[in-house]
Chains A and B, each alone.
Chain A
Amino acid sequence: MSTRTSAGPDRTVPYDDLLTRYEPVLGLEVHVELGTATKMFCGCATGFGAEPNTQTCPVCLGLPGALPVVNRTAVESAIRIGLALNCGIAEWCRFARKNYFYPDMPKNFQTSQYDEPIAVDGWLDVEVPPREGVDEEPFTYRVEIERAHMEEDTGKSTHVGGSTGRIHGASHSLVDYNRAGIPLIEIVTKPLTGAGERAPEVARAYVGALRDLLRALDVSDVKMEQGSLRCDANVSLMPTGAERFGTRTETKNVNSLRSVERAVRYEMTRHAAVLDAGESILQETRHWHEDTGITTSGRPKSDADDYRYFPEPDLVPVAPTREDVERLRATLPENPAERRRRLQEEWGYSDLEMRDVVNAGAVEVIEATVAVGASPAAARKWWMGELARRAKTAGEDGSAVGLLDLGVTPAHVAELDDLVTSGRLNDSMARQTLDGVLAGEGSPTEVADARGLELVQDDGALQAAVDEVLAENPDVVEKIRGGKVQAVGALIGQVMKKMRGQADAGRARQLILDTLGVQG
């Protein structure tokens, strides 16, 4: 078999330009690794990051004589995914063998489903965010789902002897079969048409929506960077107004939401350049390179793609009863998009606020914080403000961490907010308290107690400070008396300074105005 690599960068045409002549058609294939405790067909554990070849057995190593037995939970997860995607669930379906040779596939066939998938014909509505300065409103696109089926993952190869672990130039490869046999659900869309210039954004929004849905179903950890959610993007262009789809390419290795959008966009510009030159697109696999933002040629479709599917004779059919399906339907969580709409209404956030919360992945923490007593506004203020800021640099070497990995719980946040609203802490003290919580010194109350953080509640000291400041600033006093009440701000700062921050700024303002006999 020949190996093709592009000699140099491919030609592309400007994105906006191609849209005047071509319509994109997308097809997205998403592979989800299920979060089951064991593999699809054997009892080996599935934990990520185990020592090489410590989670293997005769079945997933493809040893002579070994036989598969289906993981019940994996089938249930597949059905739940199908239901959540509004699919019909097969009353009877089988596994099939997809035959091809590859060293990371122990049996040299993948046990998959072929013409009898467990779930067919569904849809998922995805919301594509408005473009800044272009759209007022997000737009909704219905992604039609062709099928979702069950299969198994392959092992992992490390290439030795070449440069940077790539296949080219490698002298040999080392294979770890821990991943081999982990349950996968492959979700395939029907051709996505009519998205026009928004096609790359639709692709991204779809994968994002799917990720949220799978997370809500609690069937997978959906970590694109660890490969538990993987997307292959099929892209083709057809001349505007044409009825037949163009030749497509399948771009693999698209490992983030942003890459999905970029890879689709890139392939569209590359296809257009080829078609503009009167050439035809080679049906092939393309590989996305995150660093350079381009795709390179992989393997052309060939005779070797004769997979010789046939029903897996070592397994018996899966035939979920209507009762099984209804029982599983009852376990479905609220659709994430609907849930978001409901929460936005309950919390009273603006569209922009809600979108920021969603994009920051803070819906769940805010919900949890509200649940333990904080107001929605306060929860948002803390998580999207101070805590989001700290999360950006809280990792090792100043890297970013997730909000949940900060070490602050929703209960901490609610407690901290309570300390502020009850008047015990001001904002600056609250930040110091947070420092202590993050340092593991205990709950906010414990930290505040230990650090002696408490606003001075005694008006006597505060009044003395106010009097001093008024005496030192006769000109400002004059202005305030003259009606410029906003000038009081300058005096509050000085009062707080004299109080070394241990005072409530609101109370200081009140005392200043009272002393001057002015209405606030």
Chain B
Amino acid sequence: MSDPTTHAASGAGAADADLTRLTAVEMADRLAAGALTSVELTQAHLDRIERIDPTLNAFLLVDAEGALATAREVDAARAAGEQLPRLAGVPVAVKDIACTQGLTTTAGSRMLEDFVPPYDATVVARIRQARMPILGKTNMDEFAMGSSTEHSAFGPTRNPWDLDRIPGGSGGGSSAAVAAYLAPLAIGSDTGGSIRQPAAVTGTVGTKPTYGAVSRYGIIALASSLDQIGPCARTVADAALLHEVIAGHDPMDSTSVDAPVPDVVGAAGTTDLSGLRVGVVREISGSDQGFQPGVQARFDEALDALRDLGAEITEVSCPHFAYAMAAYYLILPSEASSNLARYDAMRYGRRVTPDGSPSAEQVMGASRDAGFGDEVKRRIILGTYALSSGYYDAYYGQAQKVRTLIARDFEAAFEQVDVLVSPTAPTTAFRIGDKTEDPMAMYLNDIATIPANLAGVPGMSVPSGTADEDGLPAGLQILAPAMQDQRLYAVGAALEARLRERQGGYVIEQAPEIEVRA
């Protein structure tokens, strides 16, 4: 492992120049140069998954056959001189929230443990068009409700940095897979931070694009007006390549934005931030706001790095962010209560039939009780309550007004600065089991990420370093105005390069080698 500037991420203790340690950019370059075949690359990942994943539980399903079939086709096409997309042959993992035709798609729920979609999500179709082998489906909190992946019906995913800790959520499977080199790239979904917070606590990069920039068609809905799909990667440049593959207008999604995709790949080459105005959001940073000292320290250093790069740092206030959590925990459950009503075991899903000669209603009630976990039930009931007669105005209606105020806070802030920054999550990864009995404590993990979902603006988490007190990674969140996703990549890439210089490598390279558990 000779040259850390070209090998992203040869983690501590890795003695071999394993193919899985390459960045996606490097993989694509080597494939294009004929120095590597997709079958070799895909097989290397499948081998590592087979060895490591029983310990991590990042994958709910591994499709070795399908992935290798795609890899073989790509190799054959390349051998035949065909012009191929940039990421052709580079494998990818897909969060189990995206429908994959012919491949079981569970959304982490017992309810859907046998559900095999007859269609592909648009994102999956684009990945197939890009000719990327799909390694499998990654673990997640049930229906993406959670911040730790502990709410998966199929067991928690472990953090590659510390197997007793959570990998974030809801997309902990995707972030753990990327952090553990089981996949160079993964698809995530972010309703309140489910791409960014897992990225932060696993030392990886994750982007939530502008709402509507990536099609939601075929993505199992949590909260329709908040959900957005995005890339998970180990580097900003890798994330940009996957972003480019999945973004763009889709006529199957009415909320899809019909506008050109910003040049995120070009932006990911940025090295200088001269003249860029960066705002620190007072309400979502600082030890006084409950941010862990080590997380805050890395954030403050990152601000210095941004200054070095030529950015002007100012503090801005978004006063209504204080109410973002409350508004979010009304809007999300309300939309979710309706989106999840379809899981009634009539057309698909796990049917539980009580004794006797039960009616359809009784079967629905029993199936939903048995098929949903506690967190899902809590949120469905909360949302049903918030929408019910007599409470709508006080809860859902009022939350929608607060949402307007939060969007206005963003507008005002973006008149003063080009991007906003904050720590991504208030703490590093907590221990598995620490917060499962206290839903409210779990919710507070998303305090910094939620405002972006409410307003629809794009956000990215890039690693800022590791916290002194526990040696675990922390993330810095970048937020930009809607449809200005390229700014995330410009700031993220420049910061990533500067921190890499200062810290002697990518943050992920500090991760210990995983001890496989029996």
Q: When A and B assemble into the complex, do they touch directly, with CB atoms less than 8 Å apart?
A: yes
User: A residues bordering B, Cβ < 8 Å?
Assistant: 1, 58, 61-70, 97, 99, 101, 103, 106-109, 171, 173, 175, 177, 306, 308-310, 313-316
A65 touching B98, Cβ below 8 Å: yes
Contact of B396 among A68, A99, A310 (CB under 8 A): A310
A108 touching B342, Cβ below 8 Å: yes
Minimum Cβ distance to chain A for residue B292 (Å): 34
B217 touching A67, Cβ below 8 Å: yes
The 5 closest A-B pairs by CB, nearest first: A108-B341, A313-B224, A308-B387, A313-B225, A65-B218
User: B residues bordering A, Cβ < 8 Å?
Assistant: 98-99, 105, 107, 112, 115, 117-119, 121, 216-221, 223-225, 251-255, 334-335, 337-338, 341-344, 346-348, 357, 360-361, 364, 384, 387-389, 392, 396
B217 touching A310, Cβ below 8 Å: no
A306 touching B341, Cβ below 8 Å: no
A314 touching B254, Cβ below 8 Å: yes
| Docked pose: A315 CA to B255 CA in angstroms | 7
| Subset of 22 A-B contacts with CB under 8 Å | A58-B118, A58-B119, A61-B347, A63-B119, A63-B348, A66-B217, A69-B252, A101-B341, A106-B342, A106-B347, A107-B341, A108-B341, A108-B342, A108-B344, A177-B347, A308-B388, A308-B392, A309-B387, A313-B255, A313-B335, A314-B224, A314-B254
A65 touching B220, Cβ below 8 Å: yes
Minimum Cβ distance to chain A for residue B27 (Å): 29
Minimum Cβ distance to chain A for residue B382 (Å): 13
User: Given that A171-B357, A310-B334 are contacting pairs, would A67 and B252 also be in contact in the complex, using a CB cutoff of 8 Å?
Assistant: yes
A64 touching B112, Cβ below 8 Å: yes
Minimum Cβ distance to chain B for residue A4 (Å): 15
| Docked pose: A399 CA to B141 CA in angstroms | 63
A97 touching B342, Cβ below 8 Å: no
Q: Which residues from A are CB-within-8-Å of B119?
A: 58, 63
Contact of A310 among B255, B338, B341 (CB under 8 A): B338
Minimum Cβ distance to chain B for residue A413 (Å): 49
A315 touching B118, Cβ below 8 Å: no
Q: Which residues from B are CB-within-8-Å of A101?
A: 341, 344, 361, 364
Q: Which residues from A are CB-within-8-Å of B217?
A: 65-67
Residue of B nearest to A316 (CB): B254
| Docked pose: A306 CA to B338 CA in angstroms | 13
B338 touching A99, Cβ below 8 Å: yes
User: Given that A108-B344, A310-B396, A313-B224 are contacting pairs, would A63 and B216 also be in contact in the complex, using a CB cutoff of 8 Å?
Assistant: no
Residue of B nearest to A100 (CB): B341
Say whether chain A's binding surface is mostly helix, strand, loop, or mixed.
loop
Minimum Cβ distance to chain B for residue A154 (Å): 13
Q: Which residues from B are CB-within-8-Å of A65?
A: 98-99, 117, 121, 216-221
A64 touching B105, Cβ below 8 Å: yes
| Docked pose: A405 CA to B85 CA in angstroms | 59
| Docked pose: A107 CA to B342 CA in angstroms | 4
Residue of B nearest to A58 (CB): B119
B220 touching A64, Cβ below 8 Å: yes
User: Given that A64-B107, A70-B254 are contacting pairs, would A306 and B346 also be in contact in the complex, using a CB cutoff of 8 Å?
Assistant: no
Q: Which residues from B are CB-within-8-Å of A67?
A: 216-217, 221, 252-255
Minimum Cβ distance to chain B for residue A330 (Å): 28
Of B119, B338, B384, B389, most buried by chain A (CB within 10 Å of CB) is: B338
Q: Which residues from A are CB-within-8-Å of B225?
A: 313
A99 touching B118, Cβ below 8 Å: no
Q: Which residues from A are CB-within-8-Å of B218?
A: 58, 65-66
| Docked pose: A191 CA to B106 CA in angstroms | 49
Residue of A nearest to B346 (CB): A103
Minimum Cβ distance to chain B for residue A54 (Å): 14
B254 touching A315, Cβ below 8 Å: yes
Minimum Cβ distance to chain B for residue A306 (Å): 5
Minimum Cβ distance to chain A for residue B156 (Å): 23
| Docked pose: A108 CA to B365 CA in angstroms | 13
| Docked pose: A175 CA to B216 CA in angstroms | 28
| Docked pose: A36 CA to B40 CA in angstroms | 52
Q: Which residues from B are CB-within-8-Å of A316?
A: 254-255
Of B99, B112, B254, most buried by chain A (CB within 10 Å of CB) is: B254
A62 touching B254, Cβ below 8 Å: no
A99 touching B342, Cβ below 8 Å: no
| Docked pose: A67 CA to B341 CA in angstroms | 15
B361 touching A1, Cβ below 8 Å: yes
Of A58, A64, A109, A308, most buried by chain B (CB within 10 Å of CB) is: A64
| Docked pose: A1 CA to B216 CA in angstroms | 37
Minimum Cβ distance to chain B for residue A90 (Å): 18
A68 touching B254, Cβ below 8 Å: yes
User: Given that A67-B217, A106-B347, A173-B360 are contacting pairs, would A306 and B388 also be in contact in the complex, using a CB cutoff of 8 Å?
Assistant: yes
Q: Which residues from A are CB-within-8-Å of B364?
A: 101
| Docked pose: A58 CA to B122 CA in angstroms | 13
Q: Which residues from B are CB-within-8-Å of A103?
A: 344, 346, 360
Contact of A64 among B99, B361, B387 (CB under 8 A): B99
| Docked pose: A314 CA to B112 CA in angstroms | 22
| Docked pose: A309 CA to B384 CA in angstroms | 11
Minimum Cβ distance to chain A for residue B383 (Å): 9
Minimum Cβ distance to chain A for residue B100 (Å): 10
Q: Which residues from B are CB-within-8-Å of A64?
A: 99, 105, 107, 112, 115, 117, 220-221, 342-343, 348
Of B342, B343, B360, B384, most buried by chain A (CB within 10 Å of CB) is: B342
Minimum Cβ distance to chain B for residue A250 (Å): 19
Residue of A nearest to B107 (CB): A64
User: Given that A103-B360, A310-B396, A314-B224 are contacting pairs, would A97 and B389 also be in contact in the complex, using a CB cutoff of 8 Å?
Assistant: no
Minimum Cβ distance to chain B for residue A197 (Å): 38
B121 touching A69, Cβ below 8 Å: no
Minimum Cβ distance to chain B for residue A460 (Å): 80
User: Given that A65-B218, A69-B252 are contacting pairs, would A99 and B389 also be in contact in the complex, using a CB cutoff of 8 Å?
Assistant: no
Q: Which residues from B are CB-within-8-Å of A107?
A: 341-342
Residue of B nearest to A312 (CB): B224
Q: Which residues from B are CB-within-8-Å of A175?
A: 346
A310 touching B387, Cβ below 8 Å: yes
| Docked pose: A5 CA to B99 CA in angstroms | 45
| Docked pose: A204 CA to B387 CA in angstroms | 38
Q: Which residues from A are CB-within-8-Å of B338?
A: 97, 99, 109, 308, 310
Q: Which residues from A are CB-within-8-Å of B254?
A: 67-70, 314-316
Q: Which residues from A are CB-within-8-Å of B221?
A: 64-65, 67, 314
| Docked pose: A315 CA to B253 CA in angstroms | 8
| Docked pose: A308 CA to B382 CA in angstroms | 13
Q: Which residues from A are CB-within-8-Å of B388?
A: 306, 308
Residue of B nearest to A104 (CB): B346
| Docked pose: A175 CA to B344 CA in angstroms | 14
| Docked pose: A106 CA to B335 CA in angstroms | 17
Minimum Cβ distance to chain B for residue A55 (Å): 15
Residue of A nearest to B359 (CB): A1
Q: Which residues from B are CB-within-8-Å of A173?
A: 360
A308 touching B384, Cβ below 8 Å: yes
Residue of B nearest to A157 (CB): B360
Residue of A nearest to B105 (CB): A64
| Docked pose: A310 CA to B348 CA in angstroms | 26
Q: Which residues from A are CB-within-8-Å of B115?
A: 64
Minimum Cβ distance to chain B for residue A75 (Å): 13
| Docked pose: A350 CA to B348 CA in angstroms | 62
Q: Which residues from B are CB-within-8-Å of A171?
A: 357
Additional pairs, 16, CB under 8 Å, beyond known A64-B343, A310-B335 = A62-B342, A64-B105, A64-B220, A64-B348, A65-B117, A65-B221, A67-B217, A67-B255, A68-B254, A69-B253, A69-B254, A106-B347, A310-B334, A310-B338, A313-B223, A316-B255
| Docked pose: A309 CA to B335 CA in angstroms | 11
| Docked pose: A70 CA to B253 CA in angstroms | 10
| Docked pose: A106 CA to B342 CA in angstroms | 6
| Docked pose: A173 CA to B361 CA in angstroms | 13
Q: Which residues from B are CB-within-8-Å of A308?
A: 337-338, 384, 387-389, 392
| Docked pose: A106 CA to B348 CA in angstroms | 10
Of A58, A177, A314, most buried by chain B (CB within 10 Å of CB) is: A314
| Docked pose: A433 CA to B220 CA in angstroms | 66
Residue of B nearest to A303 (CB): B389
